[in-house]
Structure 1
Amino acid sequence: MFLLQQLDQTLKKIKCQIANSLTVINLSLGVFAILYVLQGELRTSLLLITLAAVFDRLDGSAARKFNIVSEFGKQLDSLTDIISFGVAPALLLYHAVLFQFGIAGSLFTVLFIACGAIRLARFNVMESNHFFVGLPITAAGCILTLLYLLVPFLPAYLFMFITLVLSLLMISTIRVRKM
Protein backbone atom coordinates (compact mmCIF):
# COMPACT_ATOMS: atom_id res chain seq x y z
CA MET A 1 0.00 0.00 0.00
CA PHE A 2 2.79 2.42 0.94
CA LEU A 3 4.63 1.67 -2.32
CA LEU A 4 1.51 2.37 -4.36
CA GLN A 5 1.07 5.72 -2.63
CA GLN A 6 4.71 6.59 -3.29
CA LEU A 7 4.37 5.56 -6.93
CA ASP A 8 1.19 7.65 -7.28
CA GLN A 9 2.90 10.71 -5.79
CA THR A 10 5.90 10.24 -8.06
CA LEU A 11 3.66 10.01 -11.13
CA LYS A 12 1.85 13.20 -10.09
CA LYS A 13 5.18 15.03 -9.76
CA ILE A 14 6.29 13.83 -13.19
CA LYS A 15 2.98 14.93 -14.75
CA CYS A 16 3.36 18.35 -13.15
CA GLN A 17 6.74 18.81 -14.78
CA ILE A 18 5.68 17.74 -18.29
CA ALA A 19 3.89 21.01 -19.11
CA ASN A 20 6.61 23.12 -17.49
CA SER A 21 9.27 21.23 -19.46
CA LEU A 22 7.42 21.92 -22.70
CA THR A 23 7.24 25.61 -21.72
CA VAL A 24 10.99 25.69 -21.10
CA ILE A 25 11.56 24.15 -24.55
CA ASN A 26 9.33 26.91 -25.98
CA LEU A 27 11.42 29.51 -24.11
CA SER A 28 14.66 27.98 -25.38
CA LEU A 29 13.41 28.08 -28.96
CA GLY A 30 12.47 31.74 -28.52
CA VAL A 31 15.90 32.62 -27.16
CA PHE A 32 17.61 30.73 -29.98
CA ALA A 33 15.38 32.58 -32.45
CA ILE A 34 16.64 35.88 -31.03
CA LEU A 35 20.25 34.70 -31.24
CA TYR A 36 19.77 33.69 -34.87
CA VAL A 37 18.23 37.09 -35.68
CA LEU A 38 21.32 38.72 -34.19
CA GLN A 39 23.46 36.55 -36.47
CA GLY A 40 21.40 37.51 -39.52
CA GLU A 41 19.90 34.03 -39.90
CA LEU A 42 16.33 35.24 -40.27
CA ARG A 43 14.90 32.10 -41.90
CA THR A 44 16.25 29.95 -39.09
CA SER A 45 14.71 32.38 -36.62
CA LEU A 46 11.34 32.06 -38.39
CA LEU A 47 11.57 28.27 -38.09
CA LEU A 48 12.43 28.45 -34.38
CA ILE A 49 9.54 30.81 -33.59
CA THR A 50 7.21 28.47 -35.46
CA LEU A 51 8.48 25.52 -33.42
CA ALA A 52 8.03 27.60 -30.25
CA ALA A 53 4.37 28.02 -31.22
CA VAL A 54 4.01 24.24 -31.51
CA PHE A 55 5.48 23.75 -28.05
CA ASP A 56 3.29 26.55 -26.66
CA ARG A 57 0.27 24.63 -27.89
CA LEU A 58 1.61 21.35 -26.48
CA ASP A 59 2.30 22.76 -22.99
CA GLY A 60 -1.27 24.06 -22.69
CA SER A 61 -2.68 20.77 -23.92
CA ALA A 62 -0.55 18.79 -21.48
CA ALA A 63 -1.57 20.99 -18.55
CA ARG A 64 -5.26 20.54 -19.37
CA LYS A 65 -4.98 16.82 -20.13
CA PHE A 66 -3.21 16.03 -16.87
CA ASN A 67 -5.26 18.62 -14.95
CA ILE A 68 -2.09 20.29 -13.70
CA VAL A 69 -2.93 23.94 -14.33
CA SER A 70 -1.09 26.02 -11.74
CA GLU A 71 -0.35 29.65 -11.01
CA PHE A 72 3.37 28.89 -11.43
CA GLY A 73 2.74 27.36 -14.86
CA LYS A 74 0.61 30.34 -15.90
CA GLN A 75 3.34 32.81 -14.93
CA LEU A 76 6.09 30.74 -16.57
CA ASP A 77 4.03 30.53 -19.76
CA SER A 78 3.52 34.30 -19.84
CA LEU A 79 7.20 35.03 -19.29
CA THR A 80 8.01 32.58 -22.06
CA ASP A 81 5.43 34.13 -24.42
CA ILE A 82 6.97 37.59 -24.15
CA ILE A 83 10.28 36.14 -25.36
CA SER A 84 9.03 33.69 -28.01
CA PHE A 85 6.11 35.73 -29.39
CA GLY A 86 7.01 39.29 -28.38
CA VAL A 87 10.76 39.91 -28.54
CA ALA A 88 11.74 37.26 -31.12
CA PRO A 89 9.13 38.17 -33.80
CA ALA A 90 9.61 41.91 -33.27
CA LEU A 91 13.38 41.60 -33.70
CA LEU A 92 12.92 39.36 -36.73
CA LEU A 93 10.74 41.92 -38.48
CA TYR A 94 12.97 44.78 -37.33
CA HIS A 95 16.04 43.15 -38.87
CA ALA A 96 14.11 42.22 -42.02
CA VAL A 97 12.47 45.57 -42.78
CA LEU A 98 11.68 47.97 -39.91
CA PHE A 99 15.32 49.05 -39.47
CA GLN A 100 14.85 51.05 -42.70
CA PHE A 101 12.69 53.53 -40.80
CA GLY A 102 15.39 54.44 -38.25
CA ILE A 103 14.02 55.61 -34.90
CA ALA A 104 10.41 55.08 -36.02
CA GLY A 105 11.14 51.43 -36.87
CA SER A 106 12.80 50.99 -33.48
CA LEU A 107 9.83 52.56 -31.71
CA PHE A 108 7.33 50.30 -33.49
CA THR A 109 9.46 47.30 -32.50
CA VAL A 110 9.43 48.40 -28.86
CA LEU A 111 5.71 49.20 -29.06
CA PHE A 112 4.92 45.65 -30.20
CA ILE A 113 6.91 44.17 -27.31
CA ALA A 114 5.42 46.59 -24.76
CA CYS A 115 1.84 45.92 -25.90
CA GLY A 116 2.54 42.20 -25.73
CA ALA A 117 3.78 42.56 -22.15
CA ILE A 118 0.70 44.62 -21.21
CA ARG A 119 -1.52 42.00 -22.84
CA LEU A 120 0.12 39.20 -20.86
CA ALA A 121 -0.05 41.11 -17.58
CA ARG A 122 -3.75 41.78 -18.13
CA PHE A 123 -4.33 38.10 -18.96
CA ASN A 124 -2.63 37.05 -15.72
CA VAL A 125 -4.88 39.20 -13.52
CA MET A 126 -8.20 38.80 -15.37
CA GLU A 127 -10.48 35.83 -15.11
CA SER A 128 -12.17 34.90 -18.39
CA ASN A 129 -13.12 31.33 -19.11
CA HIS A 130 -14.44 31.36 -22.66
CA PHE A 131 -12.60 34.24 -24.32
CA PHE A 132 -9.41 36.28 -24.37
CA VAL A 133 -9.56 40.06 -24.03
CA GLY A 134 -7.36 41.45 -26.78
CA LEU A 135 -5.50 39.51 -29.43
CA PRO A 136 -3.31 36.88 -27.73
CA ILE A 137 0.40 37.57 -28.06
CA THR A 138 0.93 34.12 -29.52
CA ALA A 139 -1.34 34.94 -32.45
CA ALA A 140 0.13 38.43 -32.91
CA GLY A 141 3.68 37.07 -32.74
CA CYS A 142 2.96 34.29 -35.22
CA ILE A 143 1.38 36.75 -37.66
CA LEU A 144 4.36 39.09 -37.33
CA THR A 145 6.73 36.15 -37.86
CA LEU A 146 4.94 34.91 -40.97
CA LEU A 147 4.95 38.44 -42.40
CA TYR A 148 8.69 37.98 -42.83
CA LEU A 149 7.87 35.73 -45.79
CA LEU A 150 6.14 38.70 -47.48
CA VAL A 151 9.03 41.18 -47.15
CA PRO A 152 10.09 40.83 -50.81
CA PHE A 153 6.54 41.37 -52.04
CA LEU A 154 5.06 44.20 -49.95
CA PRO A 155 6.08 47.83 -49.52
CA ALA A 156 8.12 48.44 -46.36
CA TYR A 157 5.69 50.97 -44.86
CA LEU A 158 2.97 48.30 -44.77
CA PHE A 159 4.98 46.36 -42.16
CA MET A 160 4.99 49.45 -39.92
CA PHE A 161 1.21 49.69 -40.25
CA ILE A 162 0.64 45.97 -39.56
CA THR A 163 2.96 46.08 -36.54
CA LEU A 164 0.98 49.02 -35.17
CA VAL A 165 -2.36 47.30 -35.78
CA LEU A 166 -1.23 44.06 -34.10
CA SER A 167 0.13 46.05 -31.15
CA LEU A 168 -3.15 47.88 -30.67
CA LEU A 169 -5.19 44.70 -31.08
CA MET A 170 -3.24 43.07 -28.24
CA ILE A 171 -4.18 45.83 -25.81
CA SER A 172 -7.69 46.34 -27.16
CA THR A 173 -10.81 45.12 -25.41
CA ILE A 174 -11.97 42.95 -28.30
CA ARG A 175 -12.97 39.48 -27.24
CA VAL A 176 -11.31 36.54 -28.96
CA ARG A 177 -12.93 33.17 -28.37
CA LYS A 178 -10.68 30.53 -26.82
CA MET A 179 -10.14 27.41 -28.89
Structure 2
Amino acid sequence: MFLLHKVDSTVKKMKSHAANLITMCNMSFGGASIMATLNESYNYAVLFIFIAAFLDRYDGKVARKFNQESELGKQLDSMGDIISFGVAPALLMYEFVLVDFGVAGMFMTVLYIACGALRLARFNVMESTGYFVGLPITAAGTLLTFSFFLTHVLSPVVYMFLFFILAILMVSTFTLKKV
Protein backbone atom coordinates (compact mmCIF):
# COMPACT_ATOMS: atom_id res chain seq x y z
CA MET A 1 0.00 0.00 0.00
CA PHE A 2 2.81 2.39 0.92
CA LEU A 3 4.55 1.70 -2.40
CA LEU A 4 1.37 2.50 -4.36
CA HIS A 5 0.95 5.74 -2.46
CA LYS A 6 4.60 6.66 -3.15
CA VAL A 7 4.22 5.92 -6.89
CA ASP A 8 0.98 7.91 -7.04
CA SER A 9 2.65 10.83 -5.26
CA THR A 10 5.60 10.73 -7.67
CA VAL A 11 3.31 10.69 -10.73
CA LYS A 12 1.39 13.70 -9.37
CA LYS A 13 4.64 15.60 -8.82
CA MET A 14 5.83 14.78 -12.34
CA LYS A 15 2.52 15.98 -13.79
CA SER A 16 2.68 19.19 -11.77
CA HIS A 17 6.14 20.00 -13.13
CA ALA A 18 5.80 18.68 -16.71
CA ALA A 19 4.81 21.98 -18.32
CA ASN A 20 7.52 23.93 -16.50
CA LEU A 21 10.08 21.30 -17.48
CA ILE A 22 9.08 21.72 -21.14
CA THR A 23 9.36 25.49 -20.72
CA MET A 24 12.83 25.11 -19.21
CA CYS A 25 13.84 22.95 -22.18
CA ASN A 26 12.52 25.68 -24.52
CA MET A 27 14.61 28.23 -22.60
CA SER A 28 17.65 25.95 -22.72
CA PHE A 29 17.44 25.61 -26.49
CA GLY A 30 17.16 29.40 -26.73
CA GLY A 31 20.32 29.69 -24.64
CA ALA A 32 22.03 27.06 -26.76
CA SER A 33 21.08 29.04 -29.87
CA ILE A 34 22.72 32.14 -28.41
CA MET A 35 25.89 30.18 -27.67
CA ALA A 36 25.86 28.65 -31.17
CA THR A 37 25.56 32.14 -32.66
CA LEU A 38 28.48 33.37 -30.56
CA ASN A 39 30.49 30.42 -31.91
CA GLU A 40 29.39 31.23 -35.49
CA SER A 41 27.50 27.93 -35.73
CA TYR A 42 24.54 29.63 -37.37
CA ASN A 43 22.84 26.51 -38.69
CA TYR A 44 22.76 25.05 -35.18
CA ALA A 45 21.46 28.35 -33.84
CA VAL A 46 18.55 28.16 -36.29
CA LEU A 47 17.87 24.53 -35.43
CA PHE A 48 17.84 25.26 -31.70
CA ILE A 49 15.33 28.11 -32.13
CA PHE A 50 13.03 25.84 -34.12
CA ILE A 51 13.28 23.16 -31.42
CA ALA A 52 12.44 25.83 -28.83
CA ALA A 53 9.39 26.80 -30.92
CA PHE A 54 8.26 23.17 -31.01
CA LEU A 55 8.59 22.92 -27.23
CA ASP A 56 6.84 26.26 -26.71
CA ARG A 57 3.89 24.92 -28.65
CA TYR A 58 3.34 22.18 -26.07
CA ASP A 59 4.12 23.61 -22.63
CA GLY A 60 0.74 25.36 -22.36
CA LYS A 61 -1.10 22.34 -23.73
CA VAL A 62 0.53 20.10 -21.14
CA ALA A 63 -0.27 22.58 -18.35
CA ARG A 64 -3.94 22.67 -19.40
CA LYS A 65 -4.13 18.89 -19.84
CA PHE A 66 -2.86 18.28 -16.30
CA ASN A 67 -4.76 21.29 -14.94
CA GLN A 68 -1.48 22.81 -13.79
CA GLU A 69 -1.72 26.36 -15.15
CA SER A 70 -0.06 28.75 -12.71
CA GLU A 71 1.25 32.28 -12.42
CA LEU A 72 4.75 30.81 -12.06
CA GLY A 73 4.32 28.89 -15.31
CA LYS A 74 3.07 32.00 -17.11
CA GLN A 75 6.06 34.05 -15.94
CA LEU A 76 8.51 31.25 -16.71
CA ASP A 77 7.03 30.90 -20.20
CA SER A 78 7.55 34.61 -20.85
CA MET A 79 11.16 34.40 -19.69
CA GLY A 80 11.71 31.48 -22.03
CA ASP A 81 10.05 33.38 -24.86
CA ILE A 82 12.26 36.46 -24.49
CA ILE A 83 15.34 34.24 -24.64
CA SER A 84 14.22 31.85 -27.41
CA PHE A 85 12.23 34.25 -29.63
CA GLY A 86 13.61 37.62 -28.63
CA VAL A 87 17.33 37.51 -27.90
CA ALA A 88 18.29 34.32 -29.79
CA PRO A 89 16.82 35.21 -33.22
CA ALA A 90 17.81 38.88 -32.88
CA LEU A 91 21.40 38.01 -32.04
CA LEU A 92 21.54 35.38 -34.80
CA MET A 93 20.34 37.78 -37.49
CA TYR A 94 22.39 40.66 -36.10
CA GLU A 95 25.57 38.60 -36.30
CA PHE A 96 24.68 37.13 -39.68
CA VAL A 97 23.28 40.23 -41.43
CA LEU A 98 23.06 43.46 -39.42
CA VAL A 99 26.54 43.65 -37.89
CA ASP A 100 27.77 45.56 -40.97
CA PHE A 101 25.25 48.34 -40.28
CA GLY A 102 27.14 49.35 -37.13
CA VAL A 103 25.16 51.38 -34.61
CA ALA A 104 22.02 51.31 -36.79
CA GLY A 105 22.11 47.49 -36.84
CA MET A 106 22.60 47.42 -33.08
CA PHE A 107 19.72 49.84 -32.59
CA MET A 108 17.32 47.70 -34.66
CA THR A 109 18.38 44.58 -32.78
CA VAL A 110 17.87 46.19 -29.37
CA LEU A 111 14.55 47.72 -30.54
CA TYR A 112 13.30 44.26 -31.57
CA ILE A 113 14.29 42.75 -28.20
CA ALA A 114 12.81 45.64 -26.20
CA CYS A 115 9.51 45.51 -28.10
CA GLY A 116 9.38 41.75 -27.57
CA ALA A 117 9.88 42.22 -23.83
CA LEU A 118 7.21 44.92 -23.71
CA ARG A 119 4.78 42.68 -25.59
CA LEU A 120 5.39 39.82 -23.15
CA ALA A 121 4.98 42.07 -20.11
CA ARG A 122 1.74 43.47 -21.51
CA PHE A 123 0.48 39.94 -22.17
CA ASN A 124 1.27 38.89 -18.59
CA VAL A 125 -0.82 41.67 -17.03
CA MET A 126 -3.81 41.42 -19.38
CA GLU A 127 -6.88 39.29 -18.80
CA SER A 128 -7.12 36.31 -21.16
CA THR A 129 -9.69 37.04 -23.86
CA GLY A 130 -9.07 34.36 -26.46
CA TYR A 131 -7.17 36.91 -28.58
CA PHE A 132 -3.55 37.94 -28.91
CA VAL A 133 -2.94 41.67 -28.83
CA GLY A 134 -0.11 42.41 -31.23
CA LEU A 135 2.07 39.85 -32.94
CA PRO A 136 3.17 37.18 -30.43
CA ILE A 137 6.93 37.13 -29.91
CA THR A 138 6.98 33.43 -30.78
CA ALA A 139 5.63 34.25 -34.26
CA ALA A 140 7.99 37.21 -34.67
CA GLY A 141 11.01 35.19 -33.57
CA THR A 142 10.11 32.25 -35.77
CA LEU A 143 9.63 34.54 -38.79
CA LEU A 144 12.93 36.28 -38.10
CA THR A 145 14.68 32.93 -37.76
CA PHE A 146 13.06 31.59 -40.93
CA SER A 147 14.37 34.64 -42.80
CA PHE A 148 17.85 33.19 -42.24
CA PHE A 149 17.13 30.92 -45.20
CA LEU A 150 16.52 33.97 -47.41
CA THR A 151 19.75 35.83 -46.68
CA HIS A 152 21.26 34.77 -50.01
CA VAL A 153 18.37 36.35 -51.97
CA LEU A 154 17.41 39.36 -49.84
CA SER A 155 19.40 42.55 -49.51
CA PRO A 156 20.73 43.18 -45.99
CA VAL A 157 18.75 46.45 -46.02
CA VAL A 158 15.54 44.37 -46.06
CA TYR A 159 16.53 43.02 -42.65
CA MET A 160 16.71 46.52 -41.18
CA PHE A 161 13.08 46.95 -42.20
CA LEU A 162 12.13 43.43 -41.11
CA PHE A 163 13.46 44.01 -37.58
CA PHE A 164 11.59 47.32 -37.38
CA ILE A 165 8.31 45.93 -38.76
CA LEU A 166 8.34 42.91 -36.44
CA ALA A 167 9.12 45.16 -33.46
CA ILE A 168 6.21 47.49 -34.26
CA LEU A 169 3.83 44.58 -34.89
CA MET A 170 4.66 43.08 -31.49
CA VAL A 171 3.72 46.27 -29.62
CA SER A 172 0.78 47.21 -31.82
CA THR A 173 -2.78 46.73 -30.60
CA PHE A 174 -4.36 44.70 -33.40
CA THR A 175 -5.94 41.43 -32.29
CA LEU A 176 -5.47 37.88 -33.52
CA LYS A 177 -7.71 34.98 -32.53
CA LYS A 178 -5.84 32.32 -30.59
CA VAL A 179 -5.79 28.93 -32.32
Alpha-carbon distance, 1:128 to partner: 2.4
Once residues 60 and 138 of structure 1 are traced to their aligned partners in structure 2, the CA distance between those partners, rounded to angstroms, is: 13
Q: Secondary structure at the match of 1:40?
A: coil
Aligned to 1:115: 115
Distance across 1 between alignment mates of 2:122 and 2:13: 29
Deviates more, 1:126-135 or 1:46-55: 126-135
Structure 1 gap ranges (5+): none
SS in 1 for 2:132: strand
Distance 1:115 1:26 in 2: 20
RMSD across aligned positions (CA): 1.5
Aligned-partner residue type, residue 13 of structure 1:
K
Partner residue, 1:31:
31
How high is the sequence identity, in percent, across the aligned residues?
Answer: 54
Length-normalised TM-score, structure 1: 0.95
Matched, 1:70 2:70: yes
Letter in 2 for 1:131: Y
Residues 96-143 of structure 1, C-alpha deviations (whole Å, 9 max, x = no match): 111111100000000000000000000000012310111100000000
1:102 aligned residue: 102
1:158 and 2:158 are equivalent in the alignment: yes
> Number of residue pairs matched?
179
Distance 1:6 1:30 in 2: 35
- Tell me the alpha carbon deviations over residues 17-73 of structure 1, each in whole angstroms, 9 at most, x when there is no partner: 111111111111000000000011111100000000001112111111111110000
Superposition misfits of 4+ residues, deviation over 4 angstroms: 1-9
2:127 partner SS: coil
1:32 aligned counterpart, secondary structure: helix
* Aligned equivalents of 1:92, 1:176: Cα separation in 2: 27
Range that drifts further, 109-118 or 6-15: 6-15
